[in-house]
C-alpha cells in the first residue's frame, strides 16, 4: 500500500505544516464532521512529513481561509511523530482489510465470469451473432452500434457477452444505461436470469434510482441537520456498506432495505455502492450529462468500464436536453417575487440586462423574432453569474432552511451559466424575442460507430 499527498505549505524554520481550507460565512458553521476530515488529512500529511524528514514532532496548522473577507483563521496543534504514526497505521489497517476483501471478491468474480454459460440456450436466430459482435467489441475496446429486431433477446444477448468479456479485458465495471425506467427492469431481469443460472455467482448488481424516487424525507432539506438519514451517515456507512456487498443484489427495494436497516439514506448509499458494484444499471444521464457521476468516477479512479446503451436512438434527444439550457424573462420575473429579499437585487440586475438585450434586438434591422447570437450576451451573462454567486452565498448561510420553491430556478440559472462557460464552436445560442428566451446548446461531439467489430471469433470461447 502506497500513500502519498501534498500539503499546502511547510516552514522548516518553525516546523509548521499547513493545510488550507476555504470557507464562506461563519467559521462556527463548519460542520464538525468536515472539520474532523480536514484534521485527519493533515495528520496523515504530518506523519508523511515526520517519516520523510525524520522529525520527532511537528506543528500541524489547519488554516481556514475566508474567501469573502480574505482572512486566515489558523488552528495549531503540536503532535509527536509516534502519535501520528499510531493514527496513520490505524487508518491503513482499516483500509487494508477492506481492500483485501475487495481483491478477493474480484478474483472470485472474474473466475466465475470466465466460466459463465449462456443461460437461455438455444440462442434465438441472430442472437449468437449479436452476442459475438458485442463480445468482440468489448475485448477489443471498440464501439459497436447494433440494430436488431424485437424478440431476438437483445438485453441478455448483449449483457451476457459484456459480462463474459470482463475478465478478458480486466474490466472493472459494466454500466447498463437506459432511457426510461422500464428499461432498467428489463436489464435487471436479464441479470437475474444470469445469476439464477449460476447459483452463488459473485456479481454485485446495483440499480441507480433518481433522488425524488428514493428519498425517504422529501419534506426535509437534504443534509444532516433536518434529515435523520443524513445525520451520522458516515458513522453508519461502513456497516451499511458491508451489508450491501454481502447482499450483492442491490435493486431499488433491496438497497432501500439495507439502507433503512442501518438508518442511512438509500439514495446516497446507492452513490457509495457505485464504487463497489460490478454492474450498475441506471439512466443515461449518470454517464452522459454534464455532471455525470459514473463518468466522473470512472475518470477519477481510472476504472476500465464497458458501457451498454439500451435503445440508443433515444440518446440524441436526451443528449440535446442534457447539453441545452434556456431561461426566459417571464420566469425570472415570476421567481423574483418568491426570492428572499437579499436576492432580489441581483435578480433585478438580470431583468434589467434582459431589457437591454430586447432593446438591442428591437433596434436591429429587420427586427428578428428569432436570432442566433454569436455567443451568450456578455453583460446579461455576467449579471446571471452574479445572481448565481449571491444565491450560493445565501444557501451557504441558510443551510438549515427548508428549500425554497425558487430553488429549481436556481438550478436552471446554474446550468445555463455552466453551459455558457464551455461555449465554443460546437455551441449555439438562440434568442426568441416573443418569449424573451435565451437558449444555449452545446452539441455533443459525434461518436464513431461501427456496425460490427471484426476480429478473432475464437476469442469468444466455447459458448
* Separation of alpha carbons 57 and 85, rounded Å: 11
* Separation of alpha carbons 20 and 65, rounded Å: 7
Q: Which is nearer to ligand SF4, 187 or 215 (CB)?
A: 215
- Closest CB 29 distance from ligand SF4, rounded Å: 19
Q: Which is nearer to ligand SF4, 45 or 268 (CB)?
A: 268
CB 390 within 8 A of CB 343: yes
* Separation of alpha carbons 228 and 226, rounded Å: 7
Q: By the criterion CB under 6 A, which residues form the site for ligand SF4?
A: 211, 215-217, 220, 222, 227, 229-230, 265, 267-268
- Output the CA–CA distances (angstroms, integers) from residue 226 to 81, 222, 231, in the order listed: 40, 7, 8
Q: Which of 144, 148, 158, 147 is nearest to 449 (CA)?
A: 144
Cβ neighbours around 460 below 10 Å, total: 19
Q: Which is nearer to ligand SF4, 55 or 222 (CB)?
A: 222
Q: Which is nearer to ligand SF4, 64 or 234 (CB)?
A: 234
- Closest CB 214 distance from ligand SF4, rounded Å: 7
Q: Which is nearer to ligand SF4, 233 or 387 (CB)?
A: 233
- Closest CB 217 distance from ligand SF4, rounded Å: 4
Q: Which is nearer to ligand SF4, 17 or 230 (CB)?
A: 230
Cβ neighbours around 39 below 10 Å, total: 17
Q: Which of 94, 102, 100 is nearest to 277 (CA)?
A: 102
Q: Which is nearer to ligand SF4, 173 or 241 (CB)?
A: 241
Q: C-alpha cell of 285?
A: 444521464
Q: C-alpha cell of 36?
A: 474532523
Cell 500513500, residue located: 3
- Closest CB 344 distance from ligand SF4, rounded Å: 28
Q: Which is nearer to ligand SF4, 370 or 411 (CB)?
A: 411
- Closest CB 94 distance from ligand SF4, rounded Å: 25
**CB contact burial 217-240 (16+ within 10 A = b; e otherwise):** eeebbbebebbebbbebeebbeeb
- Closest CB 409 distance from ligand SF4, rounded Å: 20
Q: Which is nearer to ligand SF4, 212 or 456 (CB)?
A: 212
* Separation of alpha carbons 427 and 450, rounded Å: 26
* Separation of alpha carbons 278 and 30, rounded Å: 36
* Separation of alpha carbons 162 and 255, rounded Å: 24
- Output the CA–CA distances (angstroms, integers) from residue 185 to 155, 178, 192, 334, in the order listed: 11, 10, 10, 39
- Closest CB 255 distance from ligand SF4, rounded Å: 12
- Closest CB 19 distance from ligand SF4, rounded Å: 28
- Closest CB 234 distance from ligand SF4, rounded Å: 12
Q: Which is nearer to ligand SF4, 216 or 251 (CB)?
A: 216
- Output the CA–CA distances (angstroms, integers) from residue 91 to 40, 85, 101, 446, in the order listed: 9, 10, 16, 45
- Closest CB 245 distance from ligand SF4, rounded Å: 20
Amino acid at each position: 500500500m502506497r500513500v502519498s499527498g501534498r500539503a499546502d505549505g511547510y516552514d522548516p524554520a518553525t516546523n509548521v505544516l499547513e493545510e488550507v481550507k476555504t470557507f464562506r460565512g461563519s467559521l462556527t458553521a463548519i460542520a464538525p464532521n468536515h472539520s474532523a476530515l480536514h484534521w485527519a488529512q493533515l495528520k496523515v500529511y504530518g506523519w508523511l512529513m515526520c517519516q520523510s524528514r525524520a522529525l520527532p514532532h511537528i506543528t500541524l496548522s489547519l488554516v481556514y481561509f475566508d474567501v469573502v473577507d480574505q482572512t486566515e483563521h489558523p488552528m495549531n496543534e503540536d503532535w509527536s511523530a509516534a502519535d501520528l504514526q499510531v493514527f496513520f497505521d490505524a487508518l491503513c489497517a482499516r483500509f487494508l482489510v477492506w481492500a483485501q476483501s475487495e481483491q478477493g471478491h474480484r478474483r472470485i468474480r472474474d473466475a466465475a465470469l470466465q466460466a459463465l454459460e449462456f443461460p437461455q440456450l438455444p440462442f434465438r436466430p441472430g442472437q449468437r451473432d449479436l452476442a459475438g459482435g458485442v463480445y468482440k467489441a468489448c475485448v477489443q475496446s471498440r464501439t459497436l452500434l447494433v440494430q436488431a429486431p424485437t424478440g431476438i433477446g437483445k438485453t441478455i444477448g448483449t449483457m451476457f457477452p459484456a459480462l463474459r468479456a470482463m475478465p478478458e479485458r480486466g474490466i472493472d465495471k459494466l454500466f447498463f444505461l437506459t432511457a426510461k425506467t422500464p428499461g432498467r427492469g428489463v436489464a435487471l431481469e436479464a441479470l437475474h436470469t444470469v445469476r439464477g443460472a449460476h447459483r452463488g455467482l459473485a456479481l454485485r448488481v446495483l440499480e441507480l434510482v433518481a433522488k425524488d424516487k428514493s428519498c425517504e424525507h422529501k419534506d426535509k432539506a437534504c443534509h444532516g441537520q433536518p434529515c435523520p438519514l443524513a445525520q451520522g451517515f458516515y458513522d453508519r456507512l461502513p456497516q451499511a456498506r458491508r451489508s450491501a456487498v454481502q447482499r450483492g443484489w442491490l435493486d431499488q427495494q433491496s438497497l432501500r432495505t439495507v439502507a433503512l436497516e442501518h438508518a442511512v439514506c438509500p439514495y446516497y448509499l446507492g452513490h457509495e455502492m457505485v464504487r463497489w458494484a460490478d454492474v450498475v444499471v441506471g439512466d443515461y444521464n449518470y454517464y452522459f450529462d454534464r455532471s455525470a457521476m459514473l463518468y466522473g468516477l470512472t475518470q477519477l479512479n481510472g476504472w476500465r468500464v464497458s458501457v451498454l446503451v439500451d435503445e440508443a436512438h433515444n440518446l440524441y434527444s436526451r443528449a440535446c436536453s442534457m447539453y441545452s439550457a434556456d431561461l426566459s424573462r417571464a420566469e425570472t420575473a415570476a421567481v423574483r417575487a418568491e426570492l428572499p429579499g437579499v436576492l432580489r437585487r441581483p435578480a433585478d440586475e438580470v431583468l434589467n440586462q434582459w431589457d437591454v438585450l430586447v432593446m438591442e434586438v428591437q433596434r436591429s434591422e429587420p427586427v428578428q423574432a428569432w436570432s442566433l447570437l454569436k455567443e451568450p450576451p456578455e453583460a446579461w451573462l455576467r449579471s446571471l453569474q452574479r445572481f448565481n454567486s449571491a444565491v450560493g452565498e445565501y444557501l451557504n448561510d441558510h443551510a438549515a432552511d427548508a428549500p425554497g420553491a425558487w430553488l429549481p430556478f436556481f438550478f436552471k440559472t446554474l446550468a445555463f451559466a455552466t453551459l455558457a462557460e464551455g461555449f465554443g464552436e460546437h455551441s449555439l445560442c438562440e434568442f426568441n424575442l416573443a418569449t424573451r428566451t435565451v437558449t444555449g446548446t452545446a452539441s455533443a461531439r459525434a461518436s464513431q460507430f461501427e456496425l460490427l467489430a471484426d476480429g478473432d471469433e475464437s476469442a469468444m470461447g466455447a459458448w
